[in-house]
Amino acid sequence: MVGDPYMRLMSSIPEQRSGFDARPDEGRMTTHASLQDFVDRHERLFILTGAGCSTHSGIPDYRDAEGQWKRVQPVTYQAFMGEEQTRRRYWARSLIGWRLMRQAEPNNAHRALARLEAAGRTELLLTQNVDRLHQAAGSSQVIDLHGRIDRVRCMDCEARSPRVELQEDLSRLNPGWRDLDAAEAPDGDADLEGADFSSFLVPTCRRCGGLVKPDVVFFGENVPRDRVDAAFRHLDKADAVLIVGSSLMVYSGFRFVQKAADLGKPVAAINLGRTRADGLLTLKVEQSCEEALAFLL
């Protein structure tokens, strides 16, 4: 590929050979020289990212190295839609947690993947994250599998509005909560255990007065079918799959690795700890996402 910008980039970077875990006796795992070798061999990558891609941007993740929950599981769709007290608790915590999400900036893992796309080596970047940091880093061929936290959806009239507008309404209606100090939690949440949420006021849709919800897929809620179908169409066109910072414990992401394995497409993963797909991997790199992808920068 004479003149390919990616090949010029790769030829100038020393080969990365450390930090990978290749065990031929475990499932489909086979030996590759490095993650750089895996990327170099496959021209059209389907990339699936998870929370581990954003931890160096200051956004906490959900699971530990064994794939277990680090905290109480997030609110479910059914509880949010059916219980006023759950909505009060959610939005009170979000009023504080949004400060972190709004200030978060892309890290070198996001930048490395954006550079890979710019070199023409990406079929799609499918992210389980809702923080939009891939787009902020320059990636454009992105599907936000679980939606986006910077937007709010009215469940009655379907209007979408910026999250910053709701933050204004939350702050105006609940001035005593705005400056509370709390530890940050994943996806714009904050730990406010023991607080009395009964007096917290939840804004309604500015257009119709309906119930508002973050424009993200909650646990217990289905990912929109058209979003899933679009991702599968891109997977069909890809040469290989690269998992970046996901344990794949949630089926909404794991199903794409299952499909890739059924199609005979090689799968590599960067993750600190166990993944649900360990038995399906061609290569596993147990490093931070920034460290593992540094050869692209």
Active-site residue numbers? Answer: 146
- Sign of the Cα pseudo-torsion (285, 291, 295, 297, in order): positive
Instruction: Collect contacts of 7-10 with beta carbons under 8 A, ≥24 apart.
Output: 9/115, 9/119, 9/296, 10/36, 10/40, 10/295
Q: For the residues of 37-57, what is the DSSP string, one character each?
A: HHHHH-SSEEEEE-GGGTGGG
CB atoms within 10 A of CB 159: 15
Alpha-carbon distance of 207 to 155, in angstroms, equals: 12
* Angstrom distances, CA of residue 203 to CA of 76, 166, 210, 234: 20, 7, 9, 39
Alpha-carbon distance of 164 to 168, in angstroms, equals: 6
Task: Output the CA torsion 56→69→194→173 (10° steps).
Answer: 60
The gap from C-alpha 96 to its chain's centroid, in whole angstroms, comes to 21
Alpha-carbon distance of 297 to 113, in angstroms, equals: 9
Alpha-carbon distance of 258 to 270, in angstroms, equals: 17
Q: Where are the alpha helices (DSSP H) in 104-207?
A: 108-118, 133-137, 163-173
